[in-house]
Structure 1
């Protein structure tokens, strides 16, 4: 008989791109265990991308920055004990920890759940807290395939990869308004994502500027740059290099508005960062640049034609590369532009 679960906890607090890549796992849980209540433990800043998701019943906030201070601040310690209490009251009969870190695996154990599933990422001892763990192998090198193996271990059998990001009408309207205010045709624009939380993933600003000029002059596309507020100075630098206008939306969109800006884009060119993974999930024409992170593991799933990087097919199971020739600065303008031409509709 197939397994029956009444309450499932999915743990994937961060980051934005990783949460997006966990969306197929959520949909697989709902497809295989349709009667279960499914909860997702996530950091508050990323919760808006999950709000209103048709396959999710509950969002449980995980304020990592505060909880990290639990050992020296009473209010943080109380928040941690409150979270553990909430997890125990949830009476979960299955916990699926997709983060695979010591802190998340320990929360899975502290929840009191008797069946705990998670990956073995080899960098922490998280697997010691699981009752069932999966070691990534070449046949499931991509993290999404590892997640599928974990759900299979839970008893799931119907495991297609499905990204569900429902349109939010209010966010779509405000996104179109914002684009119009920037004198961008909401039906004909490309998005560049030049930032990242890690500077080593960022393609040089002058090359993004040159690419934006080509998109405008050769393809007739307005160019929109997105990112967090902290990335606005980087985008201003790109604007200074460029000969054509670039609309700077850094820090000006909510997360749902960012999704809608990406949903309507004719093309997205992105470093290996959250908005690029959203664009991949939305099925948009995409060019994504990879440096030390392994695109076999975290690239756009089933879309190798979107990837630009070196030695893409030969990195094996490695999470990160230490090979200097994989640095993002070695990706040339011509390599990216050629992939752009391939991705744009002719």
Structure 2
């Protein structure tokens, strides 16, 4: 199609990390169409995340719950959106994700084929996983013409946080930034095979706490127990924030971190998009598929013969890919990013 859209709707993913990576597509679209307007159709929980994505005009929220077809809600939303957009880019591969653009009669509807979406999409693309091995490449490619050279140039995802919101989060959670802050993210929604042991996280936290750092342990309510284990092992320097923050507050607080250590998770991608010095720990997943995309990040993975297996639970029953990945290795990667790590000097405001 020869359409040059000025009003574009991105149908966003349902995972935090994938939503962050969608910001690369936003950047690319605005490079192609400088006068364009980009909105993101997203689950209600992610509206605050979308609001922190530069280049997005607004979040269009869908009330249908996760896993539900929600046909009535989708039809009502589609009716409200009719006439509002020239093109829709559908990032998820599900049938239901293509319904709103179709029902809204958006003229150009672009997405990868999957789940019998013929007809719902009128600009269907066939995904070549070998040419586009990374999730973010697949997103960006959807915003380019079908005959564009692949793999595409991928802008680094970015998030921006309002200073007033950062201060509000600090006040509401009774936190301060008087010391260097290490953020630890021991959770991973996908399953245990992506979670580095809590004791390993705690060892990294303890070593930095001895050098005067404060340790914020972050995650969802599901991560509260693991986070508490880390905090108990680290001691008074650690604060358990898992389940205590909204997603917006988590993003805002991570922006203050001097360093972040995280499993392959949504918060890992948040830290990378905020350009925080980051060490990302990989077990059952593949760092070539969903890596942190910031230049201030390092990946640690043992690359065992049995990994990546992409399983939620270790099929071998030993979890060696994570158990044998030592805290010393993570600290070594941190020192590459922070040459002054041993000094424990206070971080200057302009470095945050």
Q: Secondary structure at the match of 1:298?
A: coil
**CA offset at residue 244 of structure 1?**
5.0
Greater mean alpha carbon deviation, residues 320-329 or residues 253-262: 320-329
Q: Secondary structure at the match of 2:139?
A: helix
Residues 1:38 and 2:38 aligned together? yes
Correspondent of 1:215 among 202, 208, 216: 208
Correspondent of 2:269 among 241, 264, 277: 277
Cα distance in 1 for residues equivalent to 2:147 and 2:168: 42
The C-alpha deviation readout for 1:57-91, integer Å capped at 9, x for no partner, is 23211234178164xxxxxx53232123234x145
Cα distance in 2 for residues equivalent to 1:52 and 1:268: 19
1:301–1:79 CA distance, 2 compared to 1 (3 A) = same
Residues 1:336 and 2:326 aligned together? no
Residues 1:17 and 2:17 aligned together? yes
Report the equivalent of 2:167: 173
**CA offset at residue 128 of structure 1?**
7.0
Say whether the 8 Å CA contact 2:280–2:297 is kept in structure 1: no
Q: Secondary structure at the match of 1:238?
A: helix
Report the equivalent of 2:348: none
Say whether the 8 Å CA contact 2:209–2:215 is kept in structure 1: yes
Cα distance in 2 for residues equivalent to 1:115 and 1:78: 23
TM-score by length of structure 2 reads: 0.81
Say whether the 8 Å CA contact 2:301–2:325 is kept in structure 1: yes
**CA offset at residue 134 of structure 1?**
4.2
Residues 1:48 and 2:40 aligned together? no
Cα distance in 1 for residues equivalent to 2:217 and 2:127: 38
Report the equivalent of 1:85: 79
1:145–1:66 CA distance, 2 compared to 1 (3 A) = closer
Report the equivalent of 1:73: none
Report the equivalent of 1:261: 253
Report the equivalent of 1:204: 197
1:117–1:11 CA distance, 2 compared to 1 (3 A) = same
TM-score by length of structure 1 reads: 0.82
Gaps of 5+ in 2: 341-352
**CA offset at residue 344 of structure 1?**
2.3
Q: Secondary structure at the match of 2:159?
A: coil
Report the equivalent of 1:57: 57
Alpha carbon RMSD of aligned pairs, Å? 3.3
Greater mean alpha carbon deviation, residues 248-257 or residues 154-163: 154-163
Cα distance in 1 for residues equivalent to 2:66 and 2:219: 24
Report the equivalent of 2:345: none
The C-alpha deviation readout for 1:208-260, integer Å capped at 9, x for no partner, is 1112111212x432111111233222222222223453111223333332222
Say whether the 8 Å CA contact 2:156–2:293 is kept in structure 1: no
**CA offset at residue 10 of structure 1?**
0.3
Cα distance in 2 for residues equivalent to 1:312 and 1:62: 41
